[in-house]
Structure 1
Amino acid sequence: MRILLKLSGWIDALNTAVGRGVTWLVLIVAIISAGNAVMRKLFSLSSNSWLELQWYLFGAIFLLAAGFTFLRNEHVRVDVLAQKLPERAQVGIEIFGVIFFLMPAACLVLWLSIPFFWESYITHELSSNTDGLIRWPAKLLIPVGFFLLILAGISHLIKCVGFLRGQCSNPMQVSNGKSAEEALVEDILAQQHAGQVQPDTHGR
């Protein structure tokens, strides 16, 4: 089990590195999008290449960060009932879901996306739009993204089994013990409360 947990750590490190790198794409997309808008509005200039580059980068953000998002437990969950169960029962349900739902679906998409990418690569497929980009880099994102998600699923399974055996902490808890939704709600409520208790600067 110790070897498997070490493998899980390597997988998590890989997905963390990819996820942190992908966050910079958000800034790049914002700059490109703003640049396109400025050039189009002020100078009546536009380019399909830059527009398609935005789409490619959006795809990269969502596909390449999927494994990191799963690692951080940030994917949407419908666990209204499961969250009321004991931790060990929750982890058991998690193992069942990963084995019978996540892994088959992710493996199927990976399997089907490889020839989809390969055909585009060997034919040097180009966009049908004028000045469009080559298509295979965008299609390559699909198998790469789902491969990283599969690795994240394997790592998650290892940690779930390790938790049931008492060899690691609960992998379903994020670092602060709260889900992203819970943290967001608390932040909104805190801001509302701060706005209500601000001192009256007009002396009323």
Structure 2
Amino acid sequence: MQYLYFVDRLSMFTGKAFAWCIIILTLGGSYEVFVRYLLNSPTGWAYDMSYIMYGALFLMAGPYALSRDGHVRGDVVYRLFPQRVQAGIDMLLHIVFLLPGVAAMMYQGAFYAQESWTYMETSIFSPMGIPIYPLKTLIPFAGLLLFLQGTAEVTRCVWCMKHGYWPQRLRDVEETETAIMHQQEAEHGDKLGTGGQA
């Protein structure tokens, strides 16, 4: 369990650190709209900034989403299964698809980043020729974090198959729909408790 929480915390820290990219994207985009359409003086850096920030955010948010079970899943049938069966399905999919995929991402991404650093690669889409080798360095790093989180998810599946229930995940944020559902469950439980006492 300590390994699970260590990897979950690492993914949470990384995800929250890179979430600041959203603020930079919003401010930079708003500034670009203002100067382009009101002052008729577009910047030369806004596209490059959004390209880099969005790329970094996209890469580094994956482990965080996986740690929160936030990736999209076709669970119409899956959620009807007992938790042990769910864990077996998840473990199979993690071992067969996720872990080999992110291992390939780390392996190939390391060569990709190394090559980019060798000639200090700049963007061919940028009129300013911004360097993109730092962004490419995030590819193997994101792969490593995804691999660690993937092994934590396999550990979580083994725990569930052994004990019959999922171990608790770290909580920090919830979707509004999930928060409302939990609130309704709590209210429904309170009513049942009150009714039982009456």
Same fold (TM over 0.5): yes
Deviation at 1:181, TM superposition (A): 8.9
Normalised to the residue count of structure 1, the TM-score between the two structures is: 0.78
1:69 Cα deviation after fit: 0.2
TM-superposed CA distance for 1:173, in Å, is: 7.2
Number of the residue aligned with 1:194: none
Identity over the aligned pairs, expressed in percent? 25
Asked whether the equivalents of residues 8 and 67 of structure 2 are also in contact (C-alpha less than 8 Å), the reply is yes
* Structure 1: gaps of 5 or more residues: 188-204
Question: What does residue 143 of structure 1 align with?
Answer: 140
Q: Offset of 1:50 from its aligned partner? A: 2.8
Distance 1:97 1:171 in 2: 19
Which deviations, in whole Å up to 9, do the C-alpha atoms of 1:138-195 show, x marking residues without a partner? 21222222221111111111122122222x951587859xx959538969xxxxxxxx
Report what 2:178 is aligned to.
Answer: 183
Unaligned runs of 5+ in 2: 183-198
Q: How does 1:165-180 map to 2 (within 5 A)?
A: 165-166=162-163, 170-171=166-167, 180=175
Out of 66, 69, 75, which is 2:65 matched to?
69
CA distance in 2, matches of 1:122, 1:156: 36
| 2:159 maps to amino acid | G
Q: Do 2:83 and 2:160's aligned partners in 1 also have CA atoms closer than 8 Å?
A: no
How many angstroms apart in 2 are the aligned matches of 1:101 and 1:185?
Answer: 33
1:173–1:88 CA distance, 2 compared to 1 (3 A): farther
User: Which of 121, 139, 155 is the equivalent residue of 1:158?
Assistant: 155
Residues of 1 paired with 2:167 and 2:114: CA distance? 36
TM-score in terms of structure 2 length: 0.81
1:113-124 alignment to 2 at 5 Å? 113-124=109-120
Which whole-Å deviations, capped at 9, do the CAs of 1:5-33 have from their partners, x for residues lacking one? 22222111111111112222211110011
Q: Quick check: 1:22–1:64 contact (8 Å CA) kept in 2? A: yes
Residues 173, 135 of structure 1: alpha-carbon distance in 2 compared, 3 angstrom cutoff: closer
Match of 2:93 in 1: 97
Aligned to 2:192: none
Aligned to 1:22: 18
For residues 75 and 49 of structure 2, the distance between their equivalents in structure 1, rounded to whole angstroms, comes to: 37
Task: Pick the aligned partner of 1:55 from 51, 58, 65.
Answer: 51
| Structure 1 partner of 2:131 | 134
Q: What's the C-alpha RMSD, in Å, of the aligned pairs?
A: 2.6
The amino acid across from 1:122 in the alignment is T
Residue 6 of structure 1 is matched in structure 2 by: 2
Q: Given residue 110 of structure 2, which amino acid in structure 1 is its aligned partner?
A: I
- Contact map agreement 1:125 1:134 (CA 8 A) in 2: yes
What is the count of residue pairs matched by the alignment? 180
Is the contact made by 1:125 and 1:136 (CA closer than 8 Å) also made in structure 2?
Answer: yes
Q: Following superposition, which runs of at least 4 residues in structure 1 exceed 4 angstroms of deviation? A: 171-176, 179-182, 184-187
Distance in 2 (CA, whole Å) between partners of 1:63 and 1:171 is 27
**Residue 111 of structure 1 pairs with residue 136 of structure 2:** no
